[in-house]
Amino acid sequence: MDNQFYPTPVSLGVKAFNKFKNRRITRLLEPQAGRGDLVDVVHELASGRYSKVEVDCCEIDFNNQAILREKKYRIVGHDFLSYRGACLYSHILMNPPFASGVQHVLHAWNLLFHGELVAILNAETIRNPYTKERRFLVDIIEQHGSVEFVSEAFLSPDTQRKTPVEVAIIHLEKESNFKAEFIDNLKKEKVEEGMRADDIEVPKDLVVPKSKIQNMVIAFECAVEAARSAAKANARANYYANMLGRSITDETTNCHDSESCVKSVTSELNEAYLKLKERAWSSVLRSTEVLDRLSSQAQKRLESEFASICDLEFTVENIYGFLQGLVEQQGTIQIEMICDVFDMISKYHPENRAYYQGWKSNQKHRVNAYRVLMTRFIIPANRRDYYSWSNSLAWDDQQMFTDFDKVFAMLDGQHHKTPYGVVNLFCDKYKELSSGERCSSDYFDIRFYPKAGTFHIFPRRKDLIDRLNRIVGKHRAWLPQSDQDGSTGFWEQYDKAEVVTRRMDLSRLNSWRLNHGSDGEKEREASKLLEQHEMALERLGIDFDGSNAITDQRDDERQIPLLKAS
DSSP string, 336-353: HHHHHHHHHHHTS-GGGE
Q: What is the DSSP string of 427-473?
A: HHHHHHHHTT--EE-SSEEEEEETTTTEEEEEES-HHHHHHHHHHHH
Indicate if 150 and 244 belong to the same structural domain: no
For residue 250, the model assigns a pLDDT of 56
Indicate if 240 and 113 belong to the same structural domain: no
Indicate if 219 and 256 belong to the same structural domain: yes
**171 vs 517, higher pLDDT:** 171
Write out pLDDT tens, residues 297-333. 887 777 777 777 788 888 887 887 777 777 677 788 8
Write out pLDDT tens, residues 261-306. 666 677 777 888 888 888 888 888 777 666 777 788 887 777 777 7
For residue 15, the model assigns a pLDDT of 87
Q: At residue 52, does pLDDT exceed 50?
A: yes
3-class SS of residue 143: helix
Indicate if 43 and 118 belong to the same structural domain: yes
Indicate if 183 and 153 belong to the same structural domain: no
Domain count, the chain: 3
Helices (H) and strands (E) in the chain, counts: 19, 13
Confidence of residue 195 (pLDDT cuts 50, 70, 90): very low
Mean pLDDT in residue range 336-348: 89
Q: In what order do the strands lie in the sheet with 27-30?
A: 74-77, 54-58, 27-30, 91-94, 115-122, 167-174, 145-150
Indicate if 399 and 264 belong to the same structural domain: no
Confidence of residue 202 (pLDDT cuts 50, 70, 90): very low
Confidence of residue 490 (pLDDT cuts 50, 70, 90): confident
For residue 245, the model assigns a pLDDT of 64
3-class SS of residue 60: coil
Residue 26 resides in a domain: yes
Q: What's this model's pTM, rounded to 2 decimal places?
A: 0.60
Confidence of residue 1 (pLDDT cuts 50, 70, 90): very low
Burial (CB count within 10 angstroms: exposed 0-12, middle 13-18, buried 19+), residue 447: middle
Distance CA 463, CA 471 (A): 12
Indicate if 29 and 150 belong to the same structural domain: yes
Indicate if 466 and 492 belong to the same structural domain: yes
Write out pLDDT tens, residues 400-439. 999 999 999 989 988 878 889 999 999 999 999 999 899 9
3-class SS of residue 144: helix
Residue 268 resides in a domain: yes
**Contact (Cβ atoms closer than 8 angstroms) between residue 538 and residue 549:** no
Q: Which domain holds residue 522?
A: 341-557
Distance CA 104, CA 118 (A): 12
Residue 324 resides in a domain: no
Write out pLDDT tens, residues 170-185. 999 987 654 444 444 4
Residue 310 resides in a domain: no
> b or e along 547-558 (b: 16 or more beta carbons within 10 Å of the residue's beta carbon)?
eebeeebeeeee
Residue 196 resides in a domain: yes
When the pLDDT of each residue in the chain is averaged and rounded to a whole number, the result is 78
Indicate if 421 and 552 belong to the same structural domain: yes
Overall size of the chain counted in residues: 566
Indicate if 426 and 542 belong to the same structural domain: yes
Residue at which a domain ends, from 175, 207, 242: 175
Indicate if 363 and 471 belong to the same structural domain: yes
For residue 247, the model assigns a pLDDT of 59
Those residues with Cβ within 8 angstroms of residue 139's Cβ, 6 or more apart along the chain or in another chain: none
Indicate if 373 and 514 belong to the same structural domain: yes
Residue at which a domain ends, from 117, 141, 175: 175
Residue 85 resides in a domain: yes
Residue 207 resides in a domain: yes
Residue 297 resides in a domain: no
Distance CA 393, CA 426 (A): 7
Q: Work out whether the CA dihedral 74, 333, 399, 477 comes out positive or negative.
A: negative
Distance CA 561, CA 11 (A): 51
Residue at which a domain ends, from 159, 175, 191: 175
